[in-house]
Amino acid sequence: MRSFDLEFSKELAARGLIAITYPEEFGGAGRSNVERLAVTEELLRAGAPVAAHWIGDRQIGPAILRHGSRELQEEIVPRIASGEAVFCLGMSEPEAGSDLASVRTSAEPVDGGWRINGHKIWTTQAHRATHAYLLARTGRGGRKHDGLTEFVVDMHADGVSVTPIVDLAGEHHFNEVRFENVLVPAHRVIGEVGAGWRQVVEQLSFERGGAERVLSSYPVLVELLTETARQGDDRELYALLGSLVARLAVLRRLCFEVAGAMDAGQAPVQQAAALKYLGNAFEHDVVEALRRTGLTREAGPDSVFGEALLASPAFSLRGGAAEVLLSLIARQEARS
């Protein structure tokens, strides 16, 4: 998912493998989330370069279909389905950590739309995106969760600037994005003005509940299986591998249940948070298990282990830190 290949995404779109769950009138296939899960698993197992379409297909399209106006649906959803629209997520802000409700980016009403001012950070692929999903504050209420609104912003609009954040490996995935008096048309609001918090929590269940929370380290697991079979006599390694394979089976079942809930019209916030939390631990444990073999002794940054190790810090951050996920699970349990 760190690999960006727009032509690959457009080829997937031409074969009907993007927007699988979208209505046919918007360029989709009208199929189920369970069927999308099957395609997603195969792409991840193959290590396919899916970053160009991933965010738009996974969560922005469904959010617009659920809450957007007909005008916004007709403008944006077919472009996601064709692989033409590339989205980044304007959620995280400096000094806010994982607390999305601390958004300070503001949106003020003006003639014909909104004026956006603010600063987002850790915005993946913003330097390649055509559009941004943006969470901004449109009002002040008694709680910081009130007065938030979701927007679709053109990344080429006047006042949008992108600054790269280069990681320790010298790679450029993340960015800072600033919005200075950016004008956004009125129809680019997703859903209700001020109802953004409820909608973003629902949308995050799309992000947290997918197979990418389980299979990002799948190439490492394949290497581990191969090396364990080659060594043959390490009983502890066999036991560890058996535990990982069993956990993977359970996590895949959870992915299936989340997809089924979405097909039933639900927003499976608790199930998705549980999957993300357990998937984080699993993916880290897969990488650590490979340390027990001889494959890591001279592993370079371009090896399977090296790539996984460089990517692993993000496992527990993207989509919400562990504390945030546990809080979501606890609040849901308290209500039930």
13's tokens: 């779109």
For 57, the enclosing helix (H) or strand (E) is none
Strands (E), the chain: 87-90, 106-110, 113-120, 131-137, 148-154, 160-166, 172-185, 189-190
pLDDT at 65: 94
The token duo for 86 is 């590339």
Both tokens assigned to 238:
């066999």
Residue with tokens 């959870």: 254
* Res 5: pLDDT: 95
Q: How many other CB atoms sit within 10 Å of the CB of residue 247?
A: 17
Q: Which of 262, 219, 245 is nearest to 45 (CA)?
A: 219
Q: What is the DSSP letter of 211?
A: T
Task: For the chain, 336 residues long, give each residue's pLDDT as a single digit of tens.
Answer: 578 999 999 999 999 999 999 999 999 999 999 999 999 999 988 889 999 999 999 989 999 999 999 999 999 999 999 999 999 999 889 987 667 778 899 999 999 999 999 999 989 999 999 999 999 999 876 677 889 999 999 999 999 999 999 887 788 989 999 999 999 999 999 999 998 888 887 766 666 667 777 887 788 888 888 877 777 677 888 888 889 999 999 999 998 998 898 888 877 778 888 888 888 888 888 888 877 776 666 666 677 767 776 666 666 555 566 666 667 667 655 455
Q: Of how many residues is the chain composed?
A: 336
Q: What is the pLDDT, as a whole number, of residue 26?
A: 97
Q: Hey, CA dihedral for 193, 183, 318, 77, is it positive or negative?
A: positive
251 neighbors 271 (Cβ within 8 angstroms):
no
Tell me the C-alpha to C-alpha distance, in Å, between residue 244 and each of 61, 97, 211, 279, 302: 33, 31, 16, 11, 24
- pTM of the full predicted structure? 0.84
Q: b/e per residue, 220-236, with b = 16+ CB within 10 A?
A: bbebbeebbeeeeeeee
pLDDT at position 332 is: 58
Q: Which of 130, 177, 175 is nearest to 155 (CA)?
A: 130
User: What CA–CA distance (Å, rounded) separates 59 from 124?
Assistant: 15
* Angle at alpha carbon of residue 212, lines to 208 and 216, rounded to 5°: 135
Neighbours of 185 (CB within 10 A): 16
| Contact of 27 with 82, CB cutoff 8 Å | yes
What CA–CA distance (Å, rounded) separates 12 from 18? 6
The separation between CA 85 and the C-alpha centre of its own chain, rounded to angstroms, equals: 16
3-state SS class at 313: helix
* Pairing label, strands 172-185, 160-166: antiparallel
Task: Give bridge partners of residue 182 from the DSSP assignment.
Answer: 116
Q: 3-class SS at 160?
A: strand
Closest CA to 200 of 25, 323, 320, 57: 320
What is the Cβ-side half-sphere exposure of residue 234, based on CA atoms within 13 angstroms?
Answer: 17
- Return d(Cα 150, Cα 214) in angstroms, integer: 28
pLDDT of residue 3: 85
